[in-house]
């Protein structure tokens, strides 16, 4: 097996010089992103460093309780992050986002590791946690895009929806176009990723396994498995959260209540 090359802090400092390209673009176009870039880079370093330490501790313990606790915490943070990325909010949006993150990513991760890979024991953290992390990152994007598109759509198409309701349409029928557009928007990134995989890009799972010394064909099969899991997670999560939010913007009398939709931060 090929030995994995280890990166030391000096190597990471050299890699950090690549951020100067971002800073140069920001300065040239006067984007005002220099401070945000530095903060994002610092957050990434701190968060990934802490994650590495926590995962090392979880791997050494090798017990299901801390593993499941970490997975639940990841789903909770991903659900909140999906909402934080939106410009509009509605009461109950956090519960909807977190609930669908748990229902989609957690369930599909357990299905994939148990039914497809056949991990033994089922709570083996070296499989569960990385796979869940990849699902959450992509499902987060789908849910965030779906939420934003749906809430903006209800505000922009208020009159059309109310006309349909006045002519006897149910809330589900009146909001069908908004729901379809929101779900389609949320699923576009993973569809693009699958279309480009292997032809234009080498996705993260395959890249990581190749760098670790795995056979490229084995790495490709794992990447196909991950892409299918991600596609399912994004589909279930986006559809679920859009339908839940649709219920939140209609009251018990089937009236569209756009007054419930408020800008973020209010």
Number of domains observed in the structure of the chain: 2
Distance, in Å, from the CA atom of 48 to the CA atom of 265, rounded to the nearest integer, reads 28
Average pLDDT of the segment spanning 163-182: 95
Task: Indicate whether 265 pLDDT > 80.
Answer: no
Task: Indicate whether 3 pLDDT > 80.
Answer: no
Same domain? 179 vs 253: yes
Same domain? 203 vs 171: yes
Same domain? 140 vs 220: yes
Residue range of the domain that includes 3: 1-61
Same domain? 256 vs 124: yes
Q: Which residue has the higher pLDDT, 156 or 62?
A: 156
Buried b (16+ CB within 10 A) or exposed e, 222-243: bbbebbebbbbbbbbbbbbbbb
Same domain? 210 vs 150: yes
Same domain? 17 vs 127: no
- Residue 88 bridge partners (DSSP): 263
pLDDT band at 33 (very low <50, low <70, confident <90, very high): confident
Six-digit token string for 7: 């990166």
Q: What angle do CA 78, 194, 3 make, to 5 degrees?
A: 80
Same domain? 108 vs 219: yes
Domain-ending residue, one of 61, 85, 105: 61
């Amino acid at each position: 097996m090929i030995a994995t090359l280890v990166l030391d802090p000096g190597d990471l400092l050299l890699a950090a010089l690549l951020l100067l390209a971002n800073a140069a673009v920001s300065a040239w176009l006067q984007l005002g992103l220099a401070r945000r870039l530095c903060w994002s880079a610092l957050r990434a370093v701190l968060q990934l460093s802490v994650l590495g330490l926590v995962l090392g501790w979880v791997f050494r313990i090798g017990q299901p309780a801390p593993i499941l606790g970490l997975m639940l915490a990841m789903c909770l943070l991903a659900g909140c992050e999906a909402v934080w990325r939106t410009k509009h909010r509605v009461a109950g949006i956090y519960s909807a986002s977190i609930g669908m993150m748990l229902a989609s990513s957690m369930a599909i991760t357990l299905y994939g590791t148990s039914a497809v890979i056949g991990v033994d024991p089922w709570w083996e953290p070296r499989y569960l946690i990385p796979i869940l992390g990849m699902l959450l990152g992509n499902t987060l994007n789908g849910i965030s895009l779906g939420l934003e598109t749906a809430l903006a759509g209800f505000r922009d198409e208020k009159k059309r929806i109310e006309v349909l309701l006045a002519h006897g349409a149910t809330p589900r029928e009146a909001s069908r176009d908004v729901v379809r557009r929101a779900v389609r928007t949320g699923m576009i990134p993973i569809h693009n990723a699958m279309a480009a995989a292997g032809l234009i890009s080498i996705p993260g799972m395959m890249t990581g396994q190749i760098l670790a010394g795995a056979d490229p064909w084995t790495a490709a099969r794992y990447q196909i498995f991950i892409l299918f899991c991600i596609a399912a997670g994004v589909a279930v999560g986006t559809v679920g959260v859009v339908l839940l939010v649709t219920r939140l913007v209609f009251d018990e009398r089937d009236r569209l209540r756009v007054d419930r939709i408020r800008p973020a931060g209010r």
